[in-house]
A and B are shown apart, each in its own frame.
Chain A
Amino acid sequence: DVKVTQSSRYLVKRTGEKVFLECVQDMDHENMFWYRQDPGLGLRLIYFSYDVKMKEKGDIPEGYSVSREKKERFSLILESASTNQTSMYLCASSPSPGGWAKNIQYFGAGTRLSVL
C-alpha cells in the first residue's frame, strides 16, 4: 500500500523559530510536493521536487525553503516562523510514468502547525 508519512501531526512553535517539517514516502516516487491548506483557499503549492536535490517554486514559496537529499525524503523549512504561517501542511508524492498517471498524488495525513 502507498504510504506518505509526515513526522508530526501537530506542532506548536514560537515566532522566529526555525521549523522543519519532514515527509517520507515509501513508493520510490520521483515527485514530491509541499502544500499548505487554509479554509476556503484549498491547497496551495509551496514547493515541489522532481528529483533528488532538485526543487521548484510553487505558487507561495515566500518564507519557505525545502531540502531533498534522498529520494524518499522531502523537508519543508520555515527559516523564521511567523504567525501567518499557522496552517495545515500537506506533503504528497507522485510517480513519473507517461501520461495522466503522473498526476495522481498520494498525500500524507498533514501537519497542523501553530506559530505563536
Chain B
Amino acid sequence: AQSVTQLGSHVSVSEGALVLLRCNYSSSVPPYLFWYVQYPNQGLQLLLKYTSAATLVKGINGFEAEFKKSETSFHLTKPSAHMSDAAEYFCAVTSNNAGNMLTFGGGTRLMVKP
C-alpha cells in the first residue's frame, strides 16, 4: 500500500519569501513522486516529477523538489514566492506495482500576502 501525507493544509507566506510545502510518502517499493498544482477554478496540472533519476527535480515556475529516501520526503520549494503562486498543491505517489494509480495527499493551499 502507498500513502501520502502533506503537513499543513494551509500555508501563508509573504511575497518574496521562501515557499516550503511538505510531503511525506509511504511505499513498499521504489516510488515515483509528483507535485501537481491547482489554480482556482481549474483542474490539476503537473508541476514536477521524480522518476528515480536525479534526486533534485526542477519544475515549472521556479519550483523544485528533493527526493530524500532516508526521510521518505519529497518537499516542494521555491526561493521567492509570487502572488501568482497562490493555489492548491498536491503531492502524489505511485510505483511500478501500482499500475496507473496515483495516490494523492490531502493538498496544501498556499496563500501569498503582498
Contacts and interface: CB of A to CB of B under 8 A. Distances in A.
A103 interface: yes
Interface in B15-71: 32, 34, 36, 41-46, 49, 51-52
A41 interface: yes
Interface in A65-103: 90, 92, 94, 96, 99-100, 102-103
B94 A103 contact: yes
A45 interface: yes
Interface of B: 4, 6, 9, 32, 34, 36, 41-46, 49, 51-52, 90, 94, 100-102, 104-107
Given A50-B100, A103-B34, A90 B106 contact: no
A42 B44 contact: no
A98 to B, nearest CB: 10
Given A42-B104, A48-B100, A50-B100, A100 B32 contact: yes
Contacts of B94: 103
Nearest to A9: B41
Given A99-B51, A107-B43, 13 more contacts: A31-B100, A40-B9, A42-B4, A42-B104, A48-B100, A92-B44, A100-B52, A103-B32, A103-B94, A104-B34, A105-B44, A105-B102, A110-B42
A107 B102 contact: no
Contact of B105 (A42, A48, A50, A100): A42
9 contacts: A31-B100, A40-B106, A42-B106, A43-B90, A103-B102, A104-B34, A105-B44, A107-B45, A109-B42
Contacts of B105: 42
A100 B52 CA distance: 9
A50 B99 CA distance: 10
Nearest to B32: A100
A107 B44 contact: yes
